[in-house]
A and B are shown apart, each in its own frame.
Chain A
């Protein structure tokens, strides 16, 4: 009876959802096999970690209270009283960091394999916006436990926004919900973290993944035109991706169990800033660079100069697919690889310096 009912049920769905077309698409989707195929997994791992974020975030929402008087206590309650609350919170925090790490790896693999080239310019742009949104998740989520370190890090971060000419003060005011970091900032950041950013991310993710399916997996330029062995996406590549997800889950569980995310001390707006205050690791490189710039360079304020530099760098990086090709449409692989290596070296060196100094 069950065997007879199943095809009928599938037919019913197929008629309405067009599952046969999807199945056909999956059956014909392939992944190029070459020495750098392993890098293709990182996009999927980032997506897996984002899913973990969504699930653990929803669980945390059951207990979290976004107000200065209750935020810290509610996180403390989650970590000490709620069954497996410590695990959920630690996985959420570790997964956020790992997600940004894998997103960076994914971005640099795209750069070094030159997958940004025509016709994938919009895929590149949507990916960069997704990375920016992930960092926005990190910045807004960092404040939510309302502990001393996150409070002062947010103060420093929003102060940087304030130094942008013309609109800086308005931007900082908008972010803080007032002149200083306080209860309004917490409520606002909570709103960004659980409503605004997830909405935007979902939209961008649909565009990004849709474009990846539209254009298929890119082959490196040096393999272009050659006959290349291809792996079926389903089930071969998918099963391998599943193995990578399990590995990521193992790493995540180990980090959460062996190094539970610390809660720290409750934020006290009247206390002095703790010594050695620094932002999350993915903001360390720009943070340390701004620290190195003198307070005034000629007549321009050092911080402003630094921010202008970063804005130019970000603009140049965003436009990579457009300057990476010459007039004949050939990719300047050496230039792009050189720029990627230089940027990677800068990020690693300055992040390490920022962490240890």
Chain B
């Protein structure tokens, strides 16, 4: 078979088959081949025709054909491959609220995982015509109703299989918890003023919790809760106080969180829960505090106060320490002007006497340890080696901590035991510090005596030199090199 045309054109497979299927006249073959010639091939042929083609002839061949075909195919499918999004295209050209979501969305964790507007709002992102893109037929939902937000988020966030693709340890019980929360219950009852997912996590710029810019990052969470809970107008219908945030900012927990940067320090969610946020019941307050303060809870449950407070309907730990504005506790809470015990117990009553005894014991140990510290510091500052005593002193400090914990059983005997252990340590370390200071003084006396001896010897040497040189002076000699 004669195939000069094909060889000359260097045509691709499809055209070749088309040509080979016919054995008609050359004109027919030429015509057929021209129609079957692929687009890139046509481009090369056109490029090589004319005067520039004679000067800068483009190469042709099977490999070039292949790459050109792939390039043309890619260009044709580019919009789909590159994630065409007509929502973004249109809303980018709008103003105000209609543009805001598009501006914020690149910071959103969902954007980074390739979720588009249509994944929440429905519609067809590939359609250029707004009527089609936002048609109900394409599932367009428009603005999501506040009551529908939790269920919408849960569509993915309750799907373990889906969530584990992005984050293997991600919990998927947020909706279940939310439905048990006061927020969730009220929303279910139709109250749209309560918080739903987007009120805390924000919308269109949702970030991971560990992102410091996220409104639910531990450092920002109190302020996020306070946006509603410190707003008197917002809280008025619910008859909820709005002083929690102000009080919290005076607490030791806030100090640990904001000043020391301790992200494990309690914030609102630590006690109230996050998605299942609800005020702790009076009967469970000790358990809530006990999630961190384990030993204190253990002692408190052994104390006479546990049953007494429960019968009174008083909230355990918060009776003495308050709830949001928890201050640094101290011995002053037991006795003296700021005593919280004195609020219920007369000073002469059994409880009052026990509180005073416990305060006396704790003060005694605290003072003894402070005095030992001072002696050890003086010894250390003098250059004495007291690291063993300093290490032992830490055991004394541990006894003080134990005594403070034991105090929550509100029994003097329980406090006395660690106090005695601590006092023994304090006496030992103080003695070590005093011995070091005594050694230091002995060294200084020894040094003074040595220096006197050295000076006397040097004086003797000087006298010997003088005596020697008085008999005969220096020898004159020509200086060498």
Contact = CB atoms under 8 A, between A and B. Distances in A.
Interface of A: 30, 32-33, 76, 79-80, 86-87, 117-119, 216, 218-219, 223-232, 235-236, 239-240, 242-243, 246-247, 249-250, 253-254, 257-260, 262-263, 265
B465 A236 contact: yes
A243 B385 contact: no
Contacts of A32: 479
Interface stretch (B80-88, B361-369, B442-450): B442-450
Contacts of B478: 225-228
A231 B473 CA distance: 8
Contact of B451 (A235, A239, A250, A259): A250
A239 B476 contact: no
B477 interface: yes
A169 to B, nearest CB: 37
Contacts of B476: 227-230
Contact of B477 (A76, A80, A227, A253): A227
B67 interface: no
Contacts, number: 95
Nearest to B465: A239
B373 to A, nearest CB: 18
A253 B474 contact: no
A227 B479 CA distance: 6
B479 A228 contact: yes
Nearest to A224: B479
Contact of A253 (B383, B388, B451): B451
Interface in B448-481: 450-451, 454-455, 457-458, 461-462, 464-465, 468-469, 473-481
A228 B477 contact: yes
Contact of A33 (B387, B388, B464, B474): B474
Nearest to B461: A243
A254 B446 CA distance: 10
Centre residue among B385, B443, B473, B477 by max chain A CB count within 10 A: B385
B154 interface: no
Given A236-B465, A263-B387, A257 B454 contact: no
Contact of A260 (B383, B388, B450): B383
Contacts of A265: 387
Contact of A80 (B383, B388, B447, B455): B388
A259 B440 CA distance: 10
Given A223-B479, A229-B474, A247-B458, A257 B385 contact: no
Contacts of A243: 458, 461-462, 465
Given A246-B454, A253-B451, A263-B387, A118 B481 contact: yes
A260 B385 contact: yes
Contacts of A117: 481
Chain B interface mostly helix, strand, loop or mixed? Answer: helix
B469 A30 contact: no
Contacts of A253: 447, 450-451, 454
B384 interface: yes
Given A239-B465, A239-B468, 11 more contacts: A30-B477, A33-B474, A223-B479, A224-B479, A224-B481, A228-B478, A236-B465, A239-B461, A250-B451, A257-B444, A263-B387
13 contacts: A79-B385, A219-B480, A223-B479, A226-B479, A227-B476, A228-B477, A228-B479, A239-B468, A246-B461, A250-B450, A254-B451, A257-B443, A259-B383
B454 A249 contact: yes
Among all A-B residue pairs, the 6 with the closest Cβ atoms: A219-B479, A229-B474, A257-B447, A228-B479, A260-B383, A79-B385
Contacts of A224: 479-481
B481 A219 contact: yes
B387 A76 contact: yes
Contacts of A247: 454, 458
A326 B443 CA distance: 56
B385 A86 contact: yes
Nearest to A331: B481
Contacts of A229: 473-477
Contacts of A218: 480-481
Nearest to A226: B479
Contacts of B481: 117-119, 218-219, 224
B369 to A, nearest CB: 21
B330 to A, nearest CB: 31
Contacts of B444: 257-258
B391 to A, nearest CB: 11
A242 B451 CA distance: 15
B479 A225 contact: yes
A318 to B, nearest CB: 21
A5 B160 CA distance: 105
Given A86-B385, A117-B481, A236-B465, A230 B447 contact: no
B385 A230 contact: no
A31 B443 CA distance: 39
Contact of B468 (A86, A228, A236, A249): A236
A262 B385 CA distance: 7
Nearest to B386: A80
A33 B474 CA distance: 8
Contact of A258 (B447, B455, B469, B477): B447
Nearest to A218: B481
Contact of B446 (A79, A242, A257, A262): A257
B451 to A, nearest CB: 6
B390 to A, nearest CB: 10
A260 B384 CA distance: 7
Contacts of A30: 475, 477
Interface string B40-70: 0000000000000000000000000000000
